[in-house]
Amino acid sequence: MCGSSTTTSTTSTVFSRPLYLDLVTSPASAKPAALYPTRSAAGALLGQQLAGRGYIGCLLLGITPEGVEIAANAAKAMGAQFDVLVAAFIKLGSKLAPIGAIAESAPSEMDPDFQPSGALLDKLSSAIDESRARVSQDLILYRTQRPVKKLAGRIAVIVDGQVAYPWKVLAAAKAADQLGAKQTVIATPVATQAAADRITARRYEFVCPTIVMEAQGHPAPYGDMAGDTPERLRSIMIAHQAA
């Protein structure tokens, strides 16, 4: 799908391959090469693509934690404003794929293919409560509980680091819609084909330079990935710059 472009009357998707990827080679047995050298480089490229599509004067909203640094650098590249949206996946187990997500105070976004029954209903209720509590905690850490910058009548661009599963960006888009955005766009440097299909099916415009076919996404899309805890701390520091 890289290098192709799909457009409908209400939804368009941009897929293109950064030129430097063609210079990267790695043996089959070696660790997969990063798709982008750094998050800042990925954000700058994403910002250039958004600006090229006319999204000037929009508000970029980085989803916590992975989308924050990318959104900040995309906003810098295109001269746009930046803020953060707090979101969390809903999982029935730490090693299981997410079955939904929650963003801000908006209702949860669930995988429509997930149909729980019996004992799973109680487990799902607990998982949603845990995710809601995580969002409440992160609102303090990332925005010190201040409101999101004014969205009414503006274009909101939801930015995440890698979209392997679409539920968090869709939950964030729902939150942006509720905050009065006149249009909501979803953007990320890398996404899975399955996630891209889900997003465009919901008729959101989707901007993504790189699509991967692996169901769980690329194992290391950025060359400067440093582990969950350091990256979370860095994203909190960057988020405070948006205040």
pLDDT score at 43: 98
172 found inside a domain: yes
Cβ pair 201, 13 in contact under 8 A:
no
Range of the domain at 72: 5-86+148-240
Cβ pair 36, 189 in contact under 8 A:
yes
What percent helix, strand, coil does the chain show, rounded to 5?
Answer: 35, 20, 45
- Nearest-angstrom CA–CA distance, 115 and 31: 37
pLDDT score at 22: 40
Residues of the chain with pLDDT under 70: 1-30, 243
169 found inside a domain: yes
68 found inside a domain: yes
pLDDT score at 23: 40
- Nearest-angstrom CA–CA distance, 123 and 214: 28
117 found inside a domain: no
94 found inside a domain: no
11 found inside a domain: yes
220 found inside a domain: yes
pLDDT score at 159: 98
- How many domains, in total, are found in the chain? 1
CATH code for position 53? 3.40.50.2020
104 found inside a domain: no
Instruction: Give pTM, 2 decimals.
Output: 0.86
pLDDT score at 30: 64
**Eight-state DSSP code of residue 191:** E
**Per the structure block, which two tokens stand in for 52?**
């090229």
